[in-house]
Each structure stands twice: as C-alpha cells, then as structure tokens.
Chain A
C-alpha cells in the first residue's frame, strides 16, 4: 500500500503552521492598530454644526475667554453650552443680517434652542468633571487642543482610557497656574512653575488619581 502522505507534505505542514501563526499575529496587529486609530477613537472628528461657529475667530481673533460662553466650567461637571442669548449679546448688533447667523436669530425669535452636535463623547460609565480639572491646574488645551486655531470644532485627542491614565499617573507636566487655565499655547516646560510644585500647590493626591472609582462610579 502506498504511503498516505508524500515526502513533501513535511515541508507543506511547516509552511501551513507558520502561515497560520503569522496570520494570527497579523490579525492581532491590524486589530490593535485599528482599535487605536482615529477610525475607532474619533480623533479628528469634526461634525457639521447648525452654524459653522468658528472658535478660531472668537477665541484666536477676538480674544474672548473660554468662560465667556462656557460659564459653568469651574462650578459644574459640564462646562456648559451657551444659550442663544449669549450669541445675541454681540450679534444683536454685529452681523445682524448675515445669512450664516439666520439659525441663531430664528432660535431667539422662536425660543427654540440650537441643536449642536456633540464633539467630545465619553462612554456613559465614565464620569468626567470639568470642575475637578480646571480648578486643579489642568488647562482647557490639555484635552481640547488649540481651540483658538479651529475653524470647525474638532476632537484632537483620542479620549481613550490609556490617554487619560497617561496624565493621571503623572500629571505634573500638564499642570498650569490658576491664571493660565484658559490660555492657549501655554507651554508647561518653558514659562512655568515646575509640575511637582504645582502638585503641592493644588494639593493633588496622586494615589487617588489612578483609583477606579475616580472616573468610574
């Protein structure tokens, strides 16, 4: 009776086994890269909005402070989306006939809020607090990027747990003095009080920062 396998089957078996192994590794690597890519994290997400509101114009150009509109950043978990009346504080006099601003005027006259599309979304099991961050030395820029250069509001950071923990494990390099929280382009390395001094100054409990319950409740 002829042998069941021919001699070259040995080589084929090796090729097959190595191939399967390589395929598994490749799939894992690709899955990991995709999982960390902007495709998955939404970094670079800049949805269309009811009005093409430009932070670049209002913050970079006019120098209006973030808190003029986001008034509850230091008192609440949520920084606050301004009511239409905040827009109209200036636009009752400025660009009063601009086509672009028609939705704002309609919103005011119909008492119907503007429906902005949320850009920075966290999972519902994560409890982020603006108040906890801006009152303890974390500037707006650390998470939101150079808002003063954004024509359209865009998510700059991946907002993954790994990204949060980078800072929670070693917050020193992201801390600023209290009067620089809303500044844009502030460099903690160059013109700053050293991070460890700010950790003392804000009385930050480093152990608490990496506890599960700090963010997940």
Chain B
C-alpha cells in the first residue's frame, strides 16, 4: 500500500512519539528548581538563598519605624505570647523567673543581672525592647530572631515577672492569699519539727 503524500507528517509524529517514550525522563523527584536553602553552585557562597539588597526590605515587611510604645492591646493573650517567647529566647540565660541563673549561665556564661533589682523594675518597657533589638554587653542582638511585636510582648511579660516577685500580700486576691497563708503555716510546722 502506498501512503498518500499528506499522511507522512502524522506518521512521522507517531514514530517520534514512540521513540521519545524510550528516552530517559527527567526525574520529577529532583526537579531543576531551588528548594529553600538548596545549594546553588556558581552563586556567592554556593547558596540559592540570597541576602536582601542593601537598602531594600521584604515585600510584606513594614516601613514603619519600630514603635516606641506598646503597639498591642495589653491583655492575657499578649502576656501568654510574651511568656512563650520569653521561655524560648530569654530563659536559657535569664531563667524562667528572671533571676539570671538559666541553664546556659550554670554552664559558664556570664550571668546577666536579675530583673528584680530596683533599677530594672523602674526601667521603661522601651529599655527591654531596645536590649532585645540591639543586644547588651555579651548578649547578642535578637532583632533577626524576635519580631517587633514579640519584643513588646516579652517586655510586658517581664514586667509581670517583676510584679510576681515584688508585690505585697494585701494586693493578692483572697483565694491566692489564703493559699499563701496555708502554705506558709505548713512551712513553719515543718521547720518546727526539725
């Protein structure tokens, strides 16, 4: 049988298609694209992750300056967030109560001052935010690890910690007060027995 002249292109397409099936397909498992932090030979440091061009910010970042007062409403949720962030970033040195005897200090890091001194109790929140942002003494800056809102949340929580260590019995709600009295009489009894 003779092919008609106009059948050749489709016949050729079928043959090419069949031949292509036999070719090595590029692996879909490792595609020619960069995943986060994937090495990129030929780029500076061999990194696909680029540093921002000086003088630019991320598209979803804010141009507003760092606020100099608490930018969020002070409520329990803010203190919870502050506590969570404080326990993550601050407690390794400052310990969970703010006395400055965290686990890293116990392993030899120079001890930070306690938050419960007269000076720091009277320091403005802004001071805490500044120290988190810029570091202080041997403490490194945390500006690239703790976002601005979290810095203010931590500052608020530190103030709550300070209050917890420097408050009079009269300021306690009745329930906590009776609990405290029960605990302290219990302590006296134990000491009396020794």
Q: Could you tell me which A residues sit within 8 Å of B by CB distance?
A: 62-65, 67-68, 71, 77-78, 81, 83, 85-86, 88-90, 92-94, 112-113, 115, 118, 123-125, 179
* Known A77-B36, A179-B84: A125·B29 in contact at CB below 8 Å: yes
13 contacts between A and B (CB under 8 A): A62-B103, A62-B107, A64-B92, A68-B92, A78-B37, A92-B138, A93-B109, A93-B138, A94-B104, A94-B107, A94-B109, A113-B45, A123-B29
Q: Indicate whether B166 reaches chain A with its CB closer than 8 angstroms.
A: no
Taking CB atoms, residues of chain A closer than 8 Å to B109 are 90, 93-94
Q: Could you tell me which B residues sit within 8 Å of A by CB distance?
A: 28-31, 33, 35-37, 39, 45-47, 84, 87-89, 92, 103-104, 107-110, 138, 140, 144-145
Give the residue among B35, B47, B110 with the most A Cβ atoms within 10 A. B35
Is A125 touching B28 in the complex (CB atoms < 8 A)? yes
Is B36 touching A78 in the complex (CB atoms < 8 A)? yes
Q: How far is the CA of A88 from the CA of B92 in the complex (A)?
A: 14
Is A115 touching B46 in the complex (CB atoms < 8 A)? yes
Is A71 touching B103 in the complex (CB atoms < 8 A)? no
* Known A77-B36, A93-B138, A113-B45: A124·B84 in contact at CB below 8 Å: no
Give the residue among B36, B46, B138, B144 with the most A Cβ atoms within 10 A. B36
Q: How far is the CA of A83 from the CA of B141 in the complex (A)?
A: 13
Is B33 touching A124 in the complex (CB atoms < 8 A)? yes
Q: How far is the CA of A90 from the CA of B139 in the complex (A)?
A: 9
* Known A90-B104, A124-B31: A81·B37 in contact at CB below 8 Å: yes
Nearest opposing residue in chain B for A79, CB measure? B36
* Contacts across chains A and B counted by CB atoms under 8 Å: 58
Is A67 touching B33 in the complex (CB atoms < 8 A)? no
Is A124 touching B104 in the complex (CB atoms < 8 A)? no
* Known A62-B92, A115-B39: A89·B140 in contact at CB below 8 Å: yes
Q: How far is the CA of A83 from the CA of B46 in the complex (A)?
A: 15
Q: How far is the CA of A193 from the CA of B109 in the complex (A)?
A: 39
Taking CB atoms, residues of chain B closer than 8 Å to A85 are 140, 144
Q: How far is the CA of A83 from the CA of B31 in the complex (A)?
A: 26
Nearest opposing residue in chain B for A85, CB measure? B140
Give the residue among A78, A93, A118, A179 with the most B Cβ atoms within 10 A. A93
Nearest opposing residue in chain B for A75, CB measure? B147
Taking CB atoms, residues of chain B closer than 8 Å to A89 are 140
Taking CB atoms, residues of chain A closer than 8 Å to B138 are 92-93
Instruction: A68-B145, A124-B31 given; name 11 further pairs at CB < 8 Å.
Output: A62-B103, A62-B104, A62-B107, A65-B87, A77-B36, A86-B145, A94-B104, A94-B107, A94-B108, A118-B37, A124-B28
Q: How far is the CA of A63 from the CA of B88 in the complex (A)?
A: 10
Nearest first, the 3 closest Cβ-Cβ pairs linking A and B are: A124-B31, A123-B29, A65-B88
Q: How far is the CA of A43 from the CA of B58 in the complex (A)?
A: 37
Is A93 touching B140 in the complex (CB atoms < 8 A)? no
Give the Cβ gap from A61 to chain B, nearest Cβ, in Å: 8
Q: How far is the CA of A64 from the CA of B138 in the complex (A)?
A: 19
Give the Cβ gap from A51 to chain B, nearest Cβ, in Å: 17
Is A63 touching B103 in the complex (CB atoms < 8 A)? yes
Is B140 touching A71 in the complex (CB atoms < 8 A)? no
Taking CB atoms, residues of chain B closer than 8 Å to A62 are 92, 103-104, 107
Q: How far is the CA of A90 from the CA of B140 in the complex (A)?
A: 9
Give the residue among A83, A89, A94, A112 with the most B Cβ atoms within 10 A. A89
Give the residue among B31, B104, B108, B145 with the most A Cβ atoms within 10 A. B145
Taking CB atoms, residues of chain A closer than 8 Å to B107 are 62, 94
Q: How far is the CA of A124 from the CA of B45 in the complex (A)?
A: 23
